[in-house]
Amino acid sequence: MEVELENRGLSKRKRQILKAIVDAHIQDGGPVGSKYILQSQQLGCSAATIRNEMAELEEMGYLEQPHASAGRIPSELGYRFYVDSLIEHYVMTTNEIAQINHLLRSKMGELDQILTAASNLASNLTNYTGIAIKPRVSAVSISKFETIYLDPNHYILIAVTSTGAVKSKHLHPITPVSQDAVALLADVLNDCVSTRLADQITLPIIMEMESRMGVDSGLVGSVMKEIYNLLAELDEGEMKVSGINRLLQYPEYSNVEHLQDLLGTLENKEDILNLVAQGSNEDVNVVIGSESRVKVMNNSALVFKPIVKDGHTVGAIGVIGPLRMDYAKVLATLEGLSGNISDMIHTNKQLNGGTRDAGNEKD
Per-residue model confidence as pLDDT tens digits over 107-120: 666 778 888 999 99
Whether residue 171 contacts residue 205, with contact meaning beta carbons closer than 8 Å, is answered with no
- The pLDDT profile of the chain, 363 residues, written as one tens digit per residue, is 444 444 457 899 999 999 999 999 999 889 999 999 998 888 888 889 999 999 999 999 999 998 776 789 999 999 999 999 999 999 999 999 999 888 877 766 677 888 899 999 999 999 999 999 887 666 678 889 999 999 999 999 999 887 677 888 999 998 999 999 999 999 999 999 998 888 888 999 999 999 999 999 999 999 999 998 888 776 677 889 999 999 999 999 998 888 998 999 898 888 888 888 777 777 899 999 999 888 888 889 999 998 887 777 778 999 999 999 999 999 999 999 988 887 777 665 444 444 333 333 344
Q: Which residues of 170-197 are buried (b: 16+ CB within 10 A; e: fewer)?
A: ebebeeebeeebbebbbebbeebbeeee
3-state DSSP assignment of residue 44: coil
* Whole-number pLDDT of residue 351: 40
pLDDT computed for residue 329 by the predictor:
96
Which residue type sits at 228? Y
Its pTM stands at 0.72
According to DSSP, the residues that pair with 147 across neighbouring strands are 157
**Crossing angle of helices 270-278/256-268, nearest 10°?**
70
